[in-house]
Amino acid sequence: MICCLALVLTAFCVQGCFLAAVPLATEAEGATTDVAPSGAWDLFKVMAGGPSAMQMEATHLEISSHQQQLKANAAEKQRSESARAATIGVLQDLWNWQHDPAIGDLLIYVKAGGDPSVAMQAAMQRTRWEARSAALCRAESEPKPVAQSSVAPKQHGTD
């Protein structure tokens, strides 16, 4: 469009007559369509004429879709950060309570960006394992009762 306008003005200045410029403008448009890819030229023609109502509606729908996707992404990020903060708090409490190096490693893992749900599952398994081990150790270390008989022992020398 701009190229055609430039050619028309040039021809008008050179020839001095507007009628002389008309054949040059149609030749320039033909030459331009041969050089430029047809898709780009068609797009240029459409954009020069302005978008249609259907194109405007499609653009508005696309923008609305992108906005909804951005909102969903922001909500997912907030949920993920909330889960990460909660997991860090729980692991920190477990570390302060048990001073277990495995829990400390999980805490470092989550703070470095690791998956909080995986870390929480591992911590709970570790805590259950520790509780079972402690219960077994207590059961083994408790004194076992001596078996007592209901029959009284014989006393020697009382006859």
Q: Quick check: pTM over 0.85?
A: no
8, 21 Cβ separation under 8 angstroms: yes
CB atoms within 10 A of CB 99: 9
Per-residue DSSP letters for 116-129? HHHHHHHHHHHHHH
pLDDT for res 35:
53
> pLDDT 10s digit of each residue in the chain, 159 long?
565 555 555 655 555 554 544 555 555 555 555 555 566 666 666 666 677 888 889 999 999 999 999 999 999 999 999 999 999 999 999 888 888 888 899 999 999 999 999 999 999 998 888 888 878 777 777 666 665 656 655 666 555
The amino acid that residue 75 corresponds to is: A
Range 46-53 contact pairs with CB under 8 angstroms and sequence separation of 24 or more: 48/1
